Amino acid sequence: MLDVALVSLINDLSEKAGADGVIQFWQRVGENLASRMGKEAYLGWPSFNVAVREGRTAFSIEGETVTLTDMAIMDVDGDVVGYLYALKQCVFLPTILRVRYTSGDLPRADREVAQEYNDSHHDIAICNFCVFHERFREEVAKNITVSSQPLNCLLLATRGFTGETKISTKNLQKIGINPEHVRALLRNYECVYALEMRGARLKEGD
Amino acid sequence: MSYHGRVEKTMEAESTGLLSHLIQTALDRVREENKFDIVMFLGIDGRIFCSSIPNLLDSAQYQLLNMVKENLPHICSQLATKNLLLSMQRYETGSMIISGVGDKAFLVFLMTSELDVANLGPIAKKVLNTSVVVHHLMELKPITIEATKSYDEEVSTELRKLSRLLFVEKFDSTRQYRKNMEVHKYLREELGQVLERGLLDEVITMAYNEVGTSAAYMNDRQWEALLGLILEEVRKLCGDVVADRCSKKWKPEVERLLQSFV
């Protein structure tokens, strides 16, 4: 019930603080939640990936995460510095469905906030919750180390319950993955992101 | 040394061959970046340790080189007895800059293009920085943030770049790399007898990705894990009998390759 109640607040928030105010609010919520998750350290990618599969990492709050080990991210020297991860189902889908069943459509402000975020920050949001989710993951990644290197999270693609998709060409360029490869992943998954070692040399001259 | 998991892959000069290559790279870089014609690294007894000289010398360059050879006893004596630190000389044919590297060695920079005497600051700084770089390398000090923090930013950046260049150019000649490639080749050949080509590529690639690195950077523990993953796949695809036979053959051989490689 609490999540449905919170969603009904978005219109009020948007009217009082504007879409940009809601974005800042969600980003602060994301940062605060991530900071409460604490720090984690893993010996290497195998132990991190096992922890992801077993739901032991801070990312596990999102539900079941699929590690796409066939989509490894290589640095310029051919060493693995990250992987793609995906969620079969958006973590907010249950909330969205509950809102639809109990009070009808999502508030009008949901679209406005997502649009404002896409225009002014990063063109990846399908709904206003993506704003919170992207910042949450970025902050969680900073608190996790693999082989003593902190991680960096890049949100790559999202698919909403209406079938609308968003692909971040900006982030895909950083890791050198073709947008078409990620488009194919969206048939099976609703949210695709990359975790890579912070500071990894992905292109010569980085 | 394990390179796996290191975000910045750099290499230290762990042998005389690598040290020589590193100093050679340092001289080549300073010659190309500053339009020097010849750069030489010599001992105060007159021995040339390393030099960066173009394949073809024009008459002016040849004349300058001869001048250095003629003056060598004098230069060495100045360095050995008078503690010469830096000397810049301008002749009709070009310029000669001498800079000490510690107590026992020095660098000679020859330039046939005109030296801007009114604006010597930048070139003098570059020469002095190169002396610090070569001195650091010659003393076999590690190229780490701690070891280079007392230097000028340009010097520590140049040392880091050299260390990166050494990795890029020489990693494939290290013992670790050659051993890993030998094991990789063996496993690929053996697996090729059990699986068809398409499956072979898929199984090998997925196994490396699961281990979290590629063949070049593997360590012994990772080879063990990789072998386990490959055998698991063989068991799924070809059955227990084939997997057990492969396990009996591959495990001792991989262990032997890892231990006996010279």
pLDDT tens, position by position, A32-50:
999 999 999 998 899 999 9
Answer yes or no: is B2 within a domain. Answer: no
> Which of B60, B66, B119, B49 minimizes the C-alpha distance to B92?
B60
pLDDT of residue A204: 63
Asked if residue B239 and residue B158 are part of one domain, the reply reads no
pLDDT band at A8 (very low <50, low <70, confident <90, very high): confident
A150 in contact with B, Cβ within 8 Å: no
Domain membership of residue A206 (yes or no) is no
User: Which one of A79, A149, A198 has the shortest CB-CB distance to B217?
Assistant: A79
Is the Cβ–Cβ distance between A22 and A10 less than 8 Å?
A: yes
Number of separate domains in chain A: 1
**Does residue B222 sit in the same domain as residue B126?**
no
Given B3, B9, B206, which is nearest A70 (Cβ)?
B206
The answer to whether residue B208 neighbours chain A at the CB level (below 8 Å) is yes
Probe site for chain A from B1, B7, B164, B219 (most A CB atoms < 10 A):
B7
Same domain, B233 and B184: yes
Mutate to test the interface with B, among A48, A75, A79 (most CBs of B within 10 A): A79
Give the pLDDT of residue A40: 94
pLDDT confidence of residue A80: 92
Residue of B nearest to A82 (CA): B212
Same domain? For B101 and B181 the reply is no
What is the residue range of B78's domain? 16-172
- Residue numbers of chain B with a pLDDT score lower than 50: none
In a domain, B135, yes or no: yes
pTM (two decimals): 0.83
Give the DSSP letter of residue B93: S
DSSP strand pairing (A40-42 vs A144-146): parallel
**Dihedral-angle region of residue A55 (phi above 0 means left; psi in -120 to 50 means alpha; beta otherwise):** left
Q: Is B89 in the same domain as B204?
A: no
Range of the domain at A75: 2-197
Per-residue pLDDT of B51-66, as tens digits, reads: 999 888 889 999 999 9
Quote the minimal CA–CA distance from B230 to chain A in Å: 15
Chain B CB contacts of A79 under 8 Å are 3-5, 9, 213-214, 216-217
Provide the CATH number for the domain around residue A32. Answer: 3.30.1380
Q: Do B208 and A69 touch (CB under 8 A)?
A: no
> Into how many domains does chain B fold?
2
**Tens of pLDDT, residues A160-190:** 888 899 999 999 999 988 898 899 999 999 9
d(CA B132, CA A115) in angstroms, rounded, equals 55
| Percent above pLDDT 90 for chain A | 58
Q: How far apart are CA B175 and CA A160, in angstroms?
A: 51
pLDDT in the model for residue A33: 93
A174 within domain boundaries: yes
pLDDT, residue B223, reads 94
Q: Read off the pLDDT of each residue in A57-84 and give the average, rounded to a whole number.
A: 91
> For chain A, what's the residue count?
206
**CATH number, domain containing residue B89:** 3.30.450.30
| Residue A142 confidence (pLDDT) | 95
User: In the structure, what pLDDT confidence band is assigned to residue A135 with cuts at 50, 70 and 90?
Assistant: very high
Residues B168 and B179 in one domain: no
Residues B250, B141 share a domain: no
The answer to the question of residue B237 being in a domain is yes
Identify whether B3 is part of a domain. no
CB contact B223 to A (< 8 Å)? no
Instruction: Check whether residue B161 and residue B183 sit in a common domain.
Output: no
pLDDT at A9: 79
Question: Is B225 close to A46, i.e. CB distance below 8 A?
Answer: yes
Task: Determine which of B161, B167, B213, B217 to mutate to test the interface with A (most A C-beta atoms within 10 Å).
Answer: B213
Q: Are residues B164 and B44 in the same domain?
A: yes
Classify residue B1: in a domain, yes or no: no
Establish if A202 belongs to a structural domain: no
By the 8 A CB rule, do A192 and A86 touch? Answer: yes
CB proximity A94 to B under 8 Å:
no
Residue B261 has a pLDDT of 61
- ipTM attached to this prediction: 0.77
For residue B96, give every residue at least 6 positions away whose Cβ sits within 8 Å of its Cβ, in sequence order, or none: B64, B67, B68, B87, B88, B89, B108, B109, B110, B111
- Quote the percentage of chain A above a pLDDT of 70: 99
Residues B134, B161 share a domain = yes
Are residues B119 and B184 located together in one domain of the fold? no
Residue A151's pLDDT is: 96
**Residue A203: inside a domain:** no
* Sign of the alpha-carbon dihedral angle for B240, B241, B244, B247: negative
Boundary (domain end) residue, out of B156, B172, B188: B172
**Tell me, what's the pLDDT at B106?**
93
Rounded to whole angstroms, the Cα distance separating B154 from B175 reads: 32
Q: For residue B174, give the DSSP letter.
A: S
Residue-level pLDDT at A205 = 58
Please tell me whether residues B162 and B245 are part of one structural domain. no
Tell which wins on pLDDT, B41 or A11. B41
